[in-house]
Structure 1
């Protein structure tokens, strides 16, 4: 199954956006699934309950950090993923994505999860 759709499936099975993205990479990461779920548990509704970065995007950065065995610093990958995610989704802050203040949803959670996985896949070659 495509990792994007696998992550969405996890999202609909009780995981928050961050956990769903992390869990989609559980077979590639050298971290127990239980720890991944704990790592992602504080990022439901974005950082700070809608106030900051989308949880799915946070997960993408975590995956990059866990997978990065290359000389390229993870922070550079994170910067690239942030720009790509913003281009795909319209924003990076959860409440902006959900249209909390404007009433206009820029990107629903399922698509945020898909976009985060796409960001990981786009930078994957730099991680090895």
Structure 2
């Protein structure tokens, strides 16, 4: 405990063994997801409240940014980019899960947006 030394690529932020990149590029949700994959990472899937607190901290003062939540069709349920179901106890999303909805965040602002909207995004990968 505590002696682990992880490294992240330049311009990536370190937090609890993971690396995060807050992109300044503006993309729709699908292109944001693809851009993360190109960087050997994935669009952010929030694992727990600690990670969500870290996200709130690094997105304060920024514009909205995409995270890896979108609506599954035809169920119209929130689902993470890795296929896992969203736990509604983790945080509240403002707005309904419509057919073409994805989630963007900025500090305490977590909202449903059309997936075609253009925002920055957050990628995540394991440290090395």
Tell me the TM-score normalised to structure 2 length: 0.27
Q: Which has the higher contact order (CA 8 A, sep 6+)?
A: 2
* Higher percent of residues as strand: 2
* Higher percent of residues as helix: 1
Which protein has the larger Cα radius of gyration, Structure 1 or Structure 2? 2
Tell me the TM-score normalised to structure 1 length: 0.27
